[in-house]
Structure 1
């Protein structure tokens, strides 16, 4: 199945590499950022364009959510399959007379970070069962972790990913700020971070929880609050502490 990747950001970069590695016929990368498209084109050995979309069987839109609707209007071919990679938007965000689907890879993507695509979860949702089967088979060429889910499930999956990834990474950044402000190397926290991530492979997150909040140790909690002079950070500490206490209330 001939494929065009639309976009030049982190998701487009990794999808293009994943498709090429899997032997899927990628015929073009398309987008607005010529500098990034040129780099991606050289990386995967595929032609690029900022002007004209070539004809293909499948178009995968890997842009930001806010750009998907307008970008989808550029595809003027009928009886082709078009999918976006959004975790939140429905198929109806795509505007055109073509067949519509979502093809959602659940991962945090950075161009500088290599990934094992065989472990990457893909979630498929198409308007026609034949297209669901087609996209499932396509995803299985890349990954061993593929499922068909509906839009409601995908929205909830994306929401859970924000909690498990984006919020957690933000807390890493806050922890790094505390370390930097007190001349402590952030690297000292890496074994703790690694153990926390490894532990939930064998324990549920609720079972793995430790710390003063799960014990409702008010002496430690109040002492740590007294150490935080930044009002925004203190609000984060209090909100998360209260959430943990409530979760473990008998």
Structure 2
């Protein structure tokens, strides 16, 4: 099967890496960013182009959600299977008269971070069972966790991921701003972050909650509020504490 990856961002990079490690041949990596394409090409020995899209049996599109329709319209092979990697976009966002599908890896990707691909859940959606099997078999060469998920289910998977990953990471960034403002190395908090993350492997998140809000410790809450001179951080602090109180009291 001839496979072409379209895109040069974090997801495309890691798919190229995962496929290479699993000895899955990639015919071409295609995109607009020649510099990034060349880096991926050199690292994984994959031919690249920013001009001519190669013929393939399967095209995997890893671009921003807003670019999926435009990029997918470049594919003219009506016999091809085309998949995008978005969690929040329907397969119908693909613009073309080919077989449409989704190949969604549930993970946060950064090019500088090594990942254990075998642990990443892959969610598959396609127009027919045969194409589902093609994508499931492909994903299974990378991951031990491959499932079917239609458009509606993926929307909620992606929403949950935003809460569990993007929001949490934003709080880390805000926390670092506070520690930096007081000359406190953020490294001090890494064991706490690691333990908090590890704990929910063993406990339901609701059962793992600690802190002044669950104890309804108004004295500590008011102290913290008095320290937050930044209105944005104060708003976040109050909103999250109110949410915790409503869950437990």
- The alignment's TM-score, normalised by the length of structure 2, stands at 0.99
Aligned to 2:92: 92
Is the CA contact (8 Å cut-off) linking 1:88 and 1:155 kept in structure 2? yes
Contact 1:88 1:154 in 2 (8 A): yes
Aligned to 1:81: 81
Contact kept in structure 2, 1:124 and 1:149, CA below 8 Å: yes
Distance 1:209 1:100 in 2: 42
Q: Is residue 123–residue 149 contact of structure 1 (8 Å, CA) maintained in 2?
A: yes
C-alpha RMSD of matched pairs (Å):
0.7
Partners of 1:214 and 1:129 lie apart in 2 by 48
Number of residues paired by the alignment?
A: 249
CA contact (8 A) 1:2 1:24 kept: no
Partners of 1:124 and 1:132 within 8 A in 2: yes
Per-residue CA deviations over 1:138-168 (Å, capped at 9, x if unaligned) read 1000010111111111110111111111110
Q: In the alignment, what sits opposite 2:57?
A: 57
Q: Deviations over 1:26-82 (max 9, x none)?
A: 100000000000000011101000011111110000001011110000001111100
Query: Which runs of no fewer than 5 residues in structure 1 stay unpaired?
Result: none
Normalising to structure 1: TM-score of the pair?
0.98
* CA distance, structure 1, for counterparts of residue 169 and residue 197 of structure 2: 12
TM-fit CA distance, 1:2: 1.4
Report the equivalent of 1:34: 34
Is the counterpart of residue 153 in structure 1 residue 153 in structure 2? yes
| Whole-angstrom distance in 2 between the partners of 1:192 and 1:202 | 16
CA distance in 2, matches of 1:66, 1:120: 24
1:18 aligns with 2:18: yes
The residue that corresponds to 1:240 in the other structure is 240
Stretches of 4+ aligned residues off by more than 6 angstroms: none
Structure 2 counterpart SS, 1:103: strand
| Mapped partners of 2:19, 2:131: distance in 1 | 18
2:220 aligned with 1:217: no
Which 5+ residue runs of structure 2 have no aligned equivalent?
Answer: none
